[in-house]
Structure 1
């Protein structure tokens, strides 16, 4: 039986990969993001599924309630609610404009809380459902020049743990948190930047399809928290067990691996408004293995393409 799945933040990166992954399962989709133009592109990529697109700015009052109404009006219910929408900003905390810091927190924490509240109210009314939120390894560790994003992800970690405790009396309602490490998405280029150097995901970098598979797997095998990234646990152990060493190393490593050598003037990125031209599945930080797989003939190539998403 196909599920009704809402994906918030479906226009780019992890959300776009997640939409594709659920479409391949034959689920019915409600896709939300700010840019209607990009949503139409994602809908075309999910051509084998029944798809409703709902342009949604998660920071607008009432927008997520309207999204839930649109989903139930079209499909009668929601079985799975996935929230992947996020923005990012680079800059020293005291040099990052207050309005930018506040908007990142509004998008990455407060809007996620609203999204969870809307989904859980629906699931309470129907008696069951799966809510999947995307956090980050930066909800367990810190990195310089990303204060707003880190503060949001730490807050989300605490919110999720609290709500999971409150859901113990509702075993048919599941809340899962998926925490990626570095992922090949456009969010780094789209980020607001008041640091002067364009950001990038430090290695090792995962593809967005890998995170999408973890999200889809949470529907079949719900877990409290899932980590996606080979070094996530290593970094968490270092942050907790050797805080002095971690703090000495994290700045130089961030400047070496987390920032490119390309200079950039100060700008707000997509924090306040979308840029459809920059929205894509990948950010160009890894080779496109799916493109390479297209050159492999026969069933082996088809299997590789399915695996890569």
Structure 2
């Protein structure tokens, strides 16, 4: 993989906007050949032009990741065009806001089909090519909610938890097969400034927004580029994610209450109503083709200060537990 990194061939799903677009540009700036896939063809062509201008090569392959045959075709066209496939970035995702009992079944199912089965289809296509080559890196873009659940987005949380577990199982199977040069990485970003929230399905009656602290998509893109060169099992993006994960590990009940209140107050507008919508779950939206969604990165210090206070309050109890545990088991 290291030998090929100078000009890697990289497939990116969900490349028409958000993290996918930022990642495509980040690879292209380093001379990569990027294979861009999403449902919207014209935004993909715009990204391809930007990638070629940045110094890379680009191939556009429109596809809906819920269609396994279409995803297999992405891999075939990548190999035919460039002779190999070095990196596959599973990134295409949708989300849905709504209390579980008030959310219709079909939109709920669509989130699972896109986010989880889309990644499963991508993994099948990528690993088949990697096995033929003997090397490759599969990067699954999950979320911090893979470990830290939130209310109102239970379909998204379920899919991202599943992606993390799926990635863990794949790594174990590759170890059994002694496929040392094939890697599976899981990226778990905090809230990222992308059009995901404008594209979201919504059954809350309130307008969704990015919950602070908000990080730029380029930060995730840089992480993905580093993983292609130096694979790691799992990595967070955004300093709020590991702090909340630690809080959840030390005090799961407190973390659940904190996230419940924060999401209710900060993720959904209290004074701005919204009509029920499926967003882009079934049909792509014309709006939102940029890497960013217009959500200003803000409030990180305030948010992290609250998390730090919670961790500081728990520190004495944790230290006491660690001191007592060997003595209790003696």
TM-score normalised by the chain length of structure 1: 0.90
SS of aligned partner of 1:64:
helix
SS of aligned partner of 1:34:
coil
CA distance in 1, matches of 2:71, 2:255: 39
Which ranges in structure 1 are unaligned for 5 or more consecutive residues? 288-309
CA distance in 1, matches of 2:197, 2:242: 22
- Tell me which residue corresponds to 1:122: 129
TM-score normalised by the chain length of structure 2: 0.85
Q: Map of 1:42-81 to 2, 5 A cutoff?
A: 42-47=47-52, 48-81=55-88
Quote the offset at 1:244 in angstroms: 2.3
Q: Map of 1:1-309 to 2, 5 A cutoff?
A: 1-47=6-52, 48-168=55-175, 169-260=178-269, 261-286=271-296
Q: Answer whether contact 2:68 2:121 (CA < 8 A) is retained.
A: no
CA distance in 2, matches of 1:186, 1:37: 17
- Tell me which residue corresponds to 1:293: none
Quote the offset at 1:259 in angstroms: 1.5
Q: Answer whether contact 1:37 1:276 (CA < 8 A) is retained.
A: no
Instruction: Flag the structure with larger Rg.
Output: 2
Q: CA RMSD in A?
A: 1.2
SS of aligned partner of 1:251:
helix
The aligned length equals 287
Quote the offset at 1:257 in angstroms: 1.5
CA distance in 1, matches of 2:204, 2:64: 27
CA distance in 1, matches of 2:59, 2:252: 47
Shift in CA distance, 262/280, structure 1 to aligned 2, threshold 3 Å: farther
CA distance in 2, matches of 1:198, 1:237: 30
Deviations 1:191-211 (A, max 9, x none): 000001122222111100000
Deviations 1:252-288 (A, max 9, x none): 211211123432100000011111322221010127x
